[in-house]
Amino acid sequence: MRRLALIALLALAPATAVLSQENAAPEGNETVIKTHAIALFGEPALPADFPHYPYVNPDAPKGGEISFGAVGGFDSYNPFTHRGRAIALSVIQLERLMDSPADELGVDYCLLCETLEYPQSKDWVIFNLRPEARFSDGTPLTAHDVLFSFETLRDKGLSSFRMAMQQMVAKAEVLDDQRIRFTFAEGYPRRDVISQMGSQIVFSKKDFEDNDRDLEQSTNIPYVGSGPYMFDRADMGRTLVVKRNPDYWGKDLPINRGRFNFDRIRYEMFGDFDGAFEAFKAGEYTFRNETSSMHWSTRYDFPALSSGAVVRETLPDGQIASGDAWVFNLRREKFQDIRVREAIGLMFNFEWTNQTLLYGLETRVNSFWDNSEFRADGPPSAAELALLEPVAADLPAGILTDDAVVQPTGGERQLDRQNMRRAMALLDEAGWTVGSDGKRRNADGEPLTVEILNDDVGNDRIINPFVQNLQAIGIEAVNRRVDNAEMQQRTRSKDFDMVEDSLGQSYAIGGYAGQVFGSEDVDDVFNPMGLANPAIDRLLELGQQAETQEDNVVAIKALDRALRSLRFWVPKWYKAEYTLAYYDMYRHPDAMPPYALGTLDFWWADAAREAELKASGAIR
């Protein structure tokens, strides 16, 4: 859900660039390319007349319901504002101009658009919309809706998105009902601009006018969209159900064949993790992507599993790791000393945690691009050095010579003595010395306090030993338990010492990386640590200029190396596989694509098996 919410909040996909020249015509001295798809590097794999995505079952049956459980609640259907708590499923009905497949990196195919046109300079782009596109209320989707959506997001979207759009687009104009042109600002990097506009979601202008919507305000009125699903019903804060639109305008498009197969998608919200798990066992919801190693290893012994009503399955996950970590709030003076941050990181013993609490199932996160070829390893290459040398003065010593920073290795005991001694020495050097009461204080007598903000009781078993280790070296550490509402309020207002976040990145340095790590977005929701470093800004800029896959890999490795050297996070762990449990009525293609699980995209329900499970009382 966190990833779905992030996608909804961004409203843009990561960077994409070089376009397929399937049709070209001159305009003045420039060739204008007309195409059905765009690719980051090279060419899209599929021609304009492709029958369906290669990984789907084109004959997958329609029908059935799939349901999920989540912890927390929601009081809004608007994730495009800081106000209220929205659920990701509330914007599933909003479509983008272009769609990204799950088996190609950095490629987008026309969805709402039929084709796009642009000159070789990429100074502008025209999207030619499909005349049959409709919103779920039956009204046509036109270029006026696209323009309205762009202007609404540009003027009232989240600050980092708003700033990017204002800087990128010089002019947006409707050419006719089916054609819209975006002209890009002079001097703005051209590599990503067309794909970013192609990734824009489209609101219904009529829906906004009829409901007097304000994108900056929370709302209890679901959006009207053009997608395959539409709002069905909700118990605000507890249940949300969307249903497949039987009159979906795009149901016969080749790009949608074999996709969006469930008649209904339901989310049930629970007060805590254990309550959600017990509800799954009882059949209150039917699909679980298990994130708890303890549950996966010790609690899948209930009757529905023994009877075969529930199945467990592991599938490979080829995506970049989530980058889950506790991040420091660098806005606070005590964390501006890298020695303090390194010392605190030394006291999280992942090896002990993994073996004792996680059943040895996890792998330590070390990179923002873990589980991919983009992870920096060893000393920098000559190509990386060419990017790092000009900015080395703003990075820690050793950035040009040392191996990429990896997290410390702990021993078999919770409190690793070697790491403890190193952490204590770092704190002494930083001026946080131990007093007669065993507490660390600075020259002004202020204690070194660390509050880890936590809204999930299931995290206590992980955080409490970390807190105990910090206390052992004189830090006043606490696991601060809060509810979901307080967590949201405090993270948005930057009122925390450390908080958990997911910092995993994409396959090219684009707008999202800038939102997470760029100084222009230091106070934005996507930059929780408040990172503002000129070297990082420059590496982000260089990465956005990469025009070949080779240059892209080098740029990402250099940025990864630089980010890790700053030690603003205490990374957690990841699994390079999905651990799934679901009631035995769901099916998926035998050959799964590498970059998405696709449960709501290309899985389907076995109607006969679903009927059997209902008749037996296994599901409700």
The C-alpha atoms of residue 596 and residue 564 are separated, in whole angstroms, by 26
Where b means 16+ CB within 10 Å and e means fewer, 571-580 reads bbbbbeebbb
Give ranges for CATH 3.40.190.10 in the chain: 2-56+92-210
Cβ 170 vs Cβ 181: under 8 Å = no
pLDDT for 45 equals 97
What is residue 46's predicted lDDT score, i.e. its pLDDT?
98
User: How high is the pLDDT of residue 520?
Assistant: 85
Instruction: Dihedral sign for Cα 411, 416, 418, 420, please.
Output: positive
In 3D space, the residue among 590, 540, 529 whose CA is nearest the CA of residue 562 turns out to be 540
Q: C-alpha 569: how far from its chain's center?
A: 17
Q: Are 180 and 115 in contact (CB under 8 A)?
A: no
Per DSSP, helices labelled H in 282-381 are 293-298, 303-306, 338-346, 350-356
**Domain 2-56+92-210 in CATH: superfamily?**
Periplasmic binding protein-like II (3.40.190.10)
Beta pairing class for 449-454 and 498-502: parallel
151 Cα distance to chain centroid: 24
CA separation for the pair 473, 470 (Å, rounded): 6
User: Of 427, 482, 438, 476, which is closest to residue 459 (Cα–Cα)?
Assistant: 482
Q: Please tell me the distance from the alpha carbon of residue 310 to that of residue 613, in angstroms, as a whole number.
A: 10
Beta-strand ranges (E) seen in 340-387 are 363-364
Asked whether the beta carbons of 342 and 542 are under 8 A apart, the reply is no
436 Cβ contact list (under 8 Å, min separation 6)? none
Count CB-CB contacts under 10 A for residue 436: 5
Q: How far is Cα 104 from Cα 62, in angstroms, rounded to an integer?
A: 26
- Where do runs of H (alpha helix) occur along 283-337? 293-298, 303-306
Q: What is the mean pLDDT of each run of 10 residues along the chain (620 residues)?
A: 34 33 56 94 94 98 96 89 85 97 94 96 97 98 98 88 87 98 92 91 97 94 97 93 97 98 96 92 96 92 96 96 97 98 98 95 96 97 98 98 98 96 98 96 97 93 97 98 91 95 91 88 86 97 92 97 98 96 98 96 97 92
Decide if domain 324-574 falls under CATH 3.10.105.10.
yes
Q: What is the pLDDT of residue 15?
A: 31
Query: What residues have CB less than 8 Å from 459, skipping those under 6 apart?
Result: 500
Residues of the chain with CATH 3.10.105.10: 324-574
Question: Helix or strand or coil: residue 408?
Answer: coil
Is the CB of residue 123 less than 8 Å from the CB of residue 183?
A: yes
Concatenated DSSP letters of 123-175? SEEEEEE-TT-B-TTSPBP-HHHHHHHHHHHHHHS-HHHHHHHHHHEEEEEEE
C-alpha span between 353 and 464 (Å, rounded): 11
232 touches 264 (CB < 8 A): yes
Task: Tell me how many degrees the CA angle 73-75-80 measures, rounded to the nearest 5.
Answer: 105
pLDDT reported for residue 370: 96
